[in-house]
Amino acid sequence: MSNRTVSWNRISRSLHDSKPTIPAGLLSARAFVQFHAAKRPLVVSGQYDRAAIMAAACRAAPGIMERCSVSRRVAMSSALKAAWQVAKAAHRAAAH
């Protein structure tokens, strides 16, 4: 029978490396979208307003690019994720 040893450092490191990371600018983009959602709601009569969500993401993307020094693609990804998070929260709030 073979005797196998366990490297706790390796296990700890692999758990740490597999932890999901928050995309660049997501928290500030969410705050920006929430601020502008008062002007143009992201949820209208229980339905998502996709044009408003896209417009909010397009307004947030340049700020993310400037603050985080990322490409337009990464900035739009973070902005869209933030806009959908805000829209889903508004949808849940409207349902209750």
Task: Supply 47's token pair.
Answer: 């339905």
pTM: 0.72
Mean pLDDT of 33-59: 89
CA 4 to chain CA centroid, nearest Å = 42
Q: In this structure, are residues 25 and 67 in contact, taking their beta carbons and an 8 Å threshold?
A: yes
Please check the confidence at residue 1 and state whether its pLDDT lies above 90. Answer: no
If we measure between CA atoms, which residue out of 93, 60, 92 comes closest to residue 74?
60
Over residues 20-45, the pLDDT tens digits come to 676 667 788 888 888 877 788 999 99
Per-residue CA distances from 36 to 58, 85, 87 (Å): 12, 14, 12
CA distance 16 to 25: 22
